[in-house]
């Protein structure tokens, strides 16, 4: 049994930032993101933000600001052609602020949750995240900042020579390297070249290993989440000492990445419009890239609108799952899927508990996974219904765009570019909900966990 502090002896929550965070973490996350989005929307509404010097329409400015701050990557105008250098600088700053804010807020919410759970649960959470008390917020923020800057700087350093060898002037090459380093690690999917990723070689961009592989790796690393990256940095040689969250995130991410690459590669292997014209090594790279991007990356090396409908369905499923918790990725998160699968396996075997890696998953975590999955499914359902009502697109196109927005992925098969203003507002709302919704829901439900001195009689209804 968990040791709980008696209600009468619990310390009162003091005022100030720590008290506000404890009282309403969901409100903090939502207000912070809305305020940041408003600032960047105003900046993108300035005449200096567009290449023509004219003010961008309000719906386009807000949509782009939401997509940048929520690190999504969906666009209604071509980033490189429509926005000026100032506008692109605003966008990449929004991506960096949004991605950094996600990591910090998620970690702060984890701090809050770990302080409100029972003693044994709190010790496990603190051991996993290395977060000991709310007084360590400054240390936590500095650690997240240093880690994210280091990864993004490494990606930029790897990509810079590629752009230089492609014939770009040094400062243009440096700008593009930094842009893609930030965009890939933060799973944003924005591009700074007109028309898509640049074709720097004589062959197709899908076969450019020097460009595609670092971007894909950056997306995968960013989708793991800060708690996982911290554990991997300190104990990468000792997997047995990883916490359960890290083990589940790494295992589930690897399985989804491999399974997605195999299935997408098999489906598109002979499609002349996508993988068909590539050599077999380049097909493997393209399949890996296409499997990594639904983690929440949003980059493309082939025209996904030319993919088969079956591939779209697979991509829909991968996007809905997304990446790891406390990361810049979206979706319901890989650990949520893993917990749901474990619950199904336990029920099929007749086991009382869901177990993995010699650990038992608490019943509260199972309920939380069901809640997050159901809320995510409901958001996608409602968004799809509304989008079908305000657009003329088919169901498969609308469903793809809605999931991409909710999971903050940024992949598109053509529906976003021609949206009416009503559709832009719907997808903007979905991006905000997808970015803040599952994170704050998980924290809010965990914070409501309480103990009672009695339990009602048990009666099992008929299910299935």
pLDDT tens track for 112-171: 555 544 433 443 344 334 343 444 455 556 667 777 888 889 999 999 998 888 888 999
Residue 164 tokens read as 């230089």
The confidence score (pLDDT) of residue 445 equals: 53
Q: Which of 223, 201, 179 is nearest to 282 (CA)?
A: 201
pLDDT digits (tens, 9 = 90+) for 176-229: 999 899 888 888 888 888 777 777 666 678 888 888 899 999 999 888 887 788
Q: Indicate if the pLDDT at residue 378 is higher than 70.
A: yes
End-to-end CA distance of the chain: 32
Task: Tally the residues of the chain.
Answer: 464
**Beta carbons of 69 and 98 less than 8 angstroms apart:** yes
Mean pLDDT of the region 385-392:
92
In the 3-class helix/strand/coil scheme, how is 248-308 assigned residue by residue?
HHHHHHHHHHHHHHHHHHHHHCCCCCCCCCCCHHHHHHHHHHHHHHHHCCCCCCCCHHHCC
Mean pLDDT of the region 310-316:
94
Residue 11 tokens read as 């310390």
* Cα–Cα dist 258/329, whole Å: 18
pLDDT digits (tens, 9 = 90+) for 406-432: 998 988 887 777 788 899 999 999 998
The confidence score (pLDDT) of residue 381 equals: 95
**Beta carbons of 435 and 32 less than 8 angstroms apart:** no
pLDDT digits (tens, 9 = 90+) for 76-124: 888 888 899 899 999 998 888 887 765 565 555 555 555 544 433 443 3
Residue 179 tokens read as 């842009």
**Beta carbons of 49 and 162 less than 8 angstroms apart:** no
Percent of the chain topping pLDDT 90: 29
* Cα–Cα dist 46/65, whole Å: 13
Phi, psi of 359 (to 5 degrees): -130, 150
* Cα–Cα dist 181/214, whole Å: 9
**Beta carbons of 160 and 181 less than 8 angstroms apart:** no
Taking CA atoms, 329 is separated from 132, 207, 220, 253, in Å, by 25, 25, 9, 12
Residue 229 tokens read as 């990256």
For tokens 């961009």, what's the residue?
Answer: 205
């Amino acid at each position: 049994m968990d040791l709980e502090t008696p209600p009468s002896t619990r310390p009162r929550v003091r005022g100030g930032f720590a008290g506000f965070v404890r009282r309403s973490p969901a409100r903090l996350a939502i207000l912070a993101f809305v305020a940041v989005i408003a600032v960047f929307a105003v900046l993108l509404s300035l005449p200096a933000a567009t290449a023509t010097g004219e003010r961008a329409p309000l719906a386009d400015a807000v949509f782009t600001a939401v997509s940048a701050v929520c690190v999504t990557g969906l666009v209604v105008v071509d980033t490189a052609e429509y926005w000026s250098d100032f506008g692109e600088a605003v966008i990449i700053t929004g991506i960096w602020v949004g991605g950094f804010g996600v990591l910090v807020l998620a970690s702060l919410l984890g701090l809050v949750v770990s302080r409100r759970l029972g003693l044994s649960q709190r010790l496990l959470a603190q051991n996993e995240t290395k977060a000991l008390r709310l007084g360590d917020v400054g240390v936590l923020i500095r650690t997240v900042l240093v880690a994210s800057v280091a990864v993004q700087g490494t990606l930029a350093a790897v990509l810079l020579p590629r752009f230089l060898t492609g014939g770009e002037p040094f400062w243009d090459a440096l700008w593009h390297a930094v842009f893609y380093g930030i965009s890939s690690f933060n799973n944003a999917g924005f591009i700074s070249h007109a028309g898509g990723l640049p074709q720097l070689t004589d062959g197709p961009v899908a076969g450019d290993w020097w460009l595609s592989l670092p971007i894909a790796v950056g997306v995968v690393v960013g989708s793991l989440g800060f708690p996982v990256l911290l554990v991997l940095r300190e104990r990468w040689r000792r997997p047995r000492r990883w916490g359960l969250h890290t083990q589940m995130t790494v295992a589930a991410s690897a399985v989804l990445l491999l399974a997605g690459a195999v299935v997408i590669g098999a489906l598109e292997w002979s499609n002349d419009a996508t993988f068909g014209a590539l050599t077999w090594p380049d097909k493997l790279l393209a399949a890996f890239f296409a499997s990594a991007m639904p983690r929440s990356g949003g980059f493309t090396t082939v025209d996904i609108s030319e993919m088969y409908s079956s591939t779209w369905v697979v991509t829909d499923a991968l996007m809905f799952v997304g990446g790891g918790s406390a990361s810049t990725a979206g979706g319901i998160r890989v650990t949520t899927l893993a917990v749901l699968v474990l619950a199904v396996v336990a029920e099929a075997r007749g086991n009382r508990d869901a177990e993995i890696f010699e650990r038992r998953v608490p019943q509260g975590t199972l309920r939380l996974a069901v809640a997050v999955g159901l809320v995510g499914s409901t958001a996608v359902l409602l968004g799809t219904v509304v989008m079908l009502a305000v657009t003329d697109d088919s169901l498969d196109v609308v469903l793809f765009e809605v999931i991409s927005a909710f999971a903050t992925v940024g992949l598109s098969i053509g529906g976003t570019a021609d949206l009416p203003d009503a559709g832009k507002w719907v997808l903007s709302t979905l991006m905000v909900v997808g970015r803040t919704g599952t994170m704050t829901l998980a924290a809010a439900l965990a914070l409501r966990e309480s103990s009672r001195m009695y339990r009602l009689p048990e009666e099992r209804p008929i299910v299935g």
